[in-house]
Amino acid sequence: PEMAMKELAGTEVLEFYLKHQSNPDYIHEKIEVYMGGNDDSHKYQFGFGGLHQALLNYGSKNLVNMDVASLYPSLLVQYGLMSRGASKNPESYKDVHHTRLAAKREGKKLLNEGLKLILNGVIGAMLSEFNPLYDTWSNSSICVHGQLLLFILAKRLFDAGFNIVQTNTDGIMIERQADVDFMPICKQWEEDSRLVLEYDEIDILQQNNVNNYYCKFTNGKVKSKGFYLSNEKFGKATSK
C-alpha cells in the first residue's frame, strides 16, 4: 500500500516484500524485525499467519486492545485484492462485506457469523489449487498489506511513547499512558489506512508469549490461549 511505501521507505521489511511483489506465484515468506529493543519481547515476526509480537513473561492491568474490523475482507475491498480468477461480478463481495459489518454493528449475530464464513472462505479459496479462485499472489498480498499497515500503527504508537504489549494478526494491545491519548493516533491511522478499529478495555493480562496468555476484559469476557486455555483453575485464580 502507498501508506507503507511512504512510512516504511528504506526499511528492511518493506525492501523484503518489494523484492517479491512482481512474482505472480508468490507465497508469503517470513521475516523478523525489532522495534524498541533487541530481545525477543521486541521481535516482530511477519509470516503467513500474520504479524506477531509479545512482551515475554508479562502481567499488567489497565490495558487497551484494538482490533481491525474484518481485517482480511476489508483489505481485499479497500485495496482491490480480489482473486484474479473472480471474473464474474467481483463487486458482489463488497456488498456482502458491507452487509456483514452492518450486521455486526446491529448485533445480528447469526447473520454476522454466517457472512463472516463466506467472506473468509473466499480468501481461503485462493490457496486451494483446484478452486477457480486459486491465486496465491492475491492471498499473500492481502496478508502482506495487513501486516505492513498494522506495523505502521504499532510504530506510531511506540513513537508516541506507548508500550506495545502484544501484536497479533489483526490487533494491537498497549499500556495506557496518563499523559498521552492513543485515540488521535488511531483515528489518523484509520483515515490513512481506510480500515476501522474496534476497542476493548482490559482488566488484567498475564502472558508468557504470543501463544500463551490469559486476558480478562472489563466487560467480563475472558480470552485464553495455549496452556492458559487448558488450565481452567489457573485462569480463575488469575481473574480475581
pLDDT band of residue 231 (cuts 50, 70, 90) is low
C-alpha span between 160 and 210 (Å, rounded) = 23
> Cα dist. 203→168, 190, 230 in Å?
19, 25, 21
Helix-strand-coil percent breakdown of the chain, rounded to 5? 45, 25, 30
pLDDT per residue as tens digits for the range 120-153 = 999 999 999 999 999 988 888 899 999 999 999 9
Res. 234: pLDDT tops 70: no
Task: Name the band, by pLDDT with cuts 50, 70 and 90, for residue 27.
Answer: low
Mean pLDDT for all residues in the chain: 89
Chain segment 150-184, per-residue pLDDT in tens? 999 999 999 999 999 999 989 999 999 888 999 99
Q: What is the mean pLDDT of residues 46-50?
A: 80
Residue 154 has a pLDDT of 97
pLDDT exceeds cutoff 80 at 88: no
